[in-house]
Every structure is written in structure tokens, then in C-alpha cells.
Structure 1
């Protein structure tokens, strides 16, 4: 599966996402077309596999937080960890500078990224509603989820902008950590402490 995805990514970067067919990917990877579809339901999954580009990402981070940690703090801490590790999850892996422009140039991939962000916020809002016991129609869980989603999206946008500009990953990481510090200072205390997990 990894070989298929890596073959496809190389072809997409060289020729453009829309110019490459699944049949061409299969031929280059020396597998049958059906084999590609067995692992990747649609062509976009070759670039954004559901296992890595999950709509449940924010909700999963928050659900796994330790006692005494709020929803926003859990996400901020995870993002900082991923930046420090130069994680592929936040776009700091080698070669991403060529991948991102290809993704943004493909309408279906760009749309999928937007949809993914909206789905992340929706799933987080649902989790926060359940965890806090918020009444039906209470807007607070959705508003907090939207602000956390905004932070997540803002960070990815900043990393993407600097990546396309050709900045070094270490410089991008430093700028991203600074941005998170600034953003954290702008978030209200209500957001930063909302849904703090009680001690076990």
C-alpha cells in the first residue's frame, strides 16, 4: 500500500494530480487497477488517506487528554509536540514543499481539505456537547470547537504559506511555535479552560 501511495505522490508532484490516472499509477507501481482501488477508495485517498487525514483528528486529541487538561490545551499541546517532532501530520516532513502546491492546484483536493476542516469542528463540537452535558441548542460547545478549529486551520495555513515560499523546516517550525504562543494569548480564559477533564 505504501509503495502505491509513494508512486502516486511522485507522479502527482511531477505531472499534476488531475493529469495522472489510477490506471497509470497502477502500471507504474506494477499492480492491478483493482489492487489500487482495494486500498484507496477514490483517487484523492492516495494523497489524503483517511487514516492520516481524519475528520476525527481534533475530537480524538481531546478525547485522549489527561485529567486537568482542557480541550483547547490538549490541542495546543499536541500541535506543539508535532511541530517539535517535525511531524508529517503538520506538513513539516522533507519534500512537503513540492506536495502542497500540487494539492492546492487540484480543486478536488483543495475542496477535500476545506471539508475536512469543517468535519473536524463538527465532530469536536459533538464530543464537547456530550462531555459537558450541554443542553440541546447550547451554542457554547460549537463555538469553542470552532475556535479550536480556527487555531488548527491557522497553523496549517501558516506552515503551508512558509513551505511554498521555500523556507527551511526548522525556520517554519520556529515561526509556527511563535504563532501558537501568540494565538494562545488571544484566546479567552473561557475557551482555554472549557471542558477541563476532572481528576480521576
Structure 2
């Protein structure tokens, strides 16, 4: 279904407010900019800002719904013969190869990363996003495999993959904060990611492998 005019205008307004807020935050620091200043610069009311963003932190972390739902989407869209771990590994390495932001690092993102790491409220919001991402992944695994409420395997698998991703991304972040660009970090980051996923392979490498002939994102395994 195509996007209607009203929905498009709302999406564009939300993006414009976030872009303006991000520019102000990067220029002056997150804590030095008020929501009222963002509203004034964007030529909207404070109430309008909060209609689009629940908190000041969400003005900067405006892609949080996409980030939180990322691993659940990967689980649902994995291909025939692909396990949960293999699907995440493939997607992570693709993001690294293409320079996509979805795992929290990208070329030119050092200022963004530094602001999050040095602002307690933003760091706390990112931790909440990581927790939500793992919870949604566990729910997607349980739904996809049809496991019962007493089966802890989906939560354990999601927690292990989430921990590996946090460790690998944390490695990239530390080097970015030291002044390196993703271009120079990428080869080592790929090696670190391969090692991390390799450590998980012997334990959960085959978990949730989608049967051959099953379409992505439809139905449950028999």
C-alpha cells in the first residue's frame, strides 16, 4: 500500500525535527540544548515535538524502533537452511561491508558515538534499546519455532547473540573514540566479529535452522 499524503507529511516533519535537533546537539552538546530551542529552530511548538518524540533522547535516537526490531526482523526473514546465528552473522557483516548504521557504527559517526558515550541519559537509553532488541528477538524466535512459555532456549539464544554484538560493537566504539575511522577499523572489526560468532557456533550454531523450502517470514515449521 502506498504511503498517503498525510503519512508522508508526518514522516517528513518527524525527520526534519530530528535532523535539526541532531545538528544542534552535535554543535553544542546534548545537555546544552533544550527541547524548546529545538522546537523554535524547527518552527514548531514544544507540544508538536513531543507528539513525535516521547523524550528528548528520542530526538537523537530517532531510529530506535527500527534498531530495537532489527534482530527480530532478521529472525523472521532468514532463508531456508539458515540458522538464527547465521542470519545475524550475515546481516552484521553486510552492515560492516556497506557502512550501514544499523548496528551503531558508521563512517563519520564518531561525534554521534562520543555524545552517547559521554551523556548518561543517552547511554541509558541505548542500554534500554539493546534490552528491547534482545527481548523482541527472543519473542520472534519463540513465535517462529512455536516454543512453549517454559522453553528458555529463545531467550538464551537471544541473550548470547546480543552479548556478542555488544562486545563487538563496543570494540568498534572504543577505537572510534580514540580517533580512528571505521575504514581503518573495519578489517579488525570483521575478524573480531568472526571470532565472536565462531565462539557461539559450537553451542547455538544450528539452532532454529529454517527447513528447506520454507519461505521467509511465513508460517511455522511443522
TM-score > 0.5 by shorter chain: yes
In structure 1, the partner of 2:83 is 70
Give 1:96 deviation, angstroms.
1.2
Q: Which moved more, 1:33-42 or 1:145-154?
A: 33-42
- Which of 126, 141, 151 is equivalent to 1:138? 151
Is residue 29 of structure 1 aligned with residue 62 of structure 2?
no
Equivalent pair of 2:67/2:102 in contact (CA under 8 Å): no
- Which of 110, 127, 131 is equivalent to 1:118? 131
Deviations 1:117-165 (A, max 9, x none): 1111112112222222333322222111111111221222122111111
Gaps of 5+ in 2: 1-13, 214-222
Give 1:10 deviation, angstroms.
2.0
Distance 1:172 1:97 in 2: 12
Distance 2:65 2:88 in 1: 17
Distance 1:9 1:144 in 2: 35
Deviations 1:7-28 (A, max 9, x none): 2112212322122111111222
Deviations 1:155-196 (A, max 9, x none): 221221111111122112222111111112211434111000
Q: Which moved more, 1:7-16 or 1:90-99?
A: 90-99
- Which of 162, 165, 185 is equivalent to 2:178? 165
In structure 1, the partner of 2:3 is none
Distance 2:201 2:80 in 1: 21
Distance 2:188 2:97 in 1: 11
Give 1:6 deviation, angstroms.
2.1
TM-score by length of 2: 0.82
Distance 1:54 1:180 in 2: 19
Equivalent pair of 2:72/2:133 in contact (CA under 8 Å): yes
Distance 2:56 2:169 in 1: 23
Report the RMSD for the aligned CA atoms in angstroms. Answer: 1.9
Distance 2:81 2:186 in 1: 27
In structure 2, the partner of 1:197 is 210
Equivalent pair of 2:18/2:62 in contact (CA under 8 Å): no
Distance 2:108 2:36 in 1: 25
Q: Which moved more, 1:114-123 or 1:62-71?
A: 114-123
Partner of 1:88: helix, strand, or coil? coil
Distance 1:91 1:190 in 2: 26
In structure 1, the partner of 2:195 is 182
Distance 2:35 2:156 in 1: 40
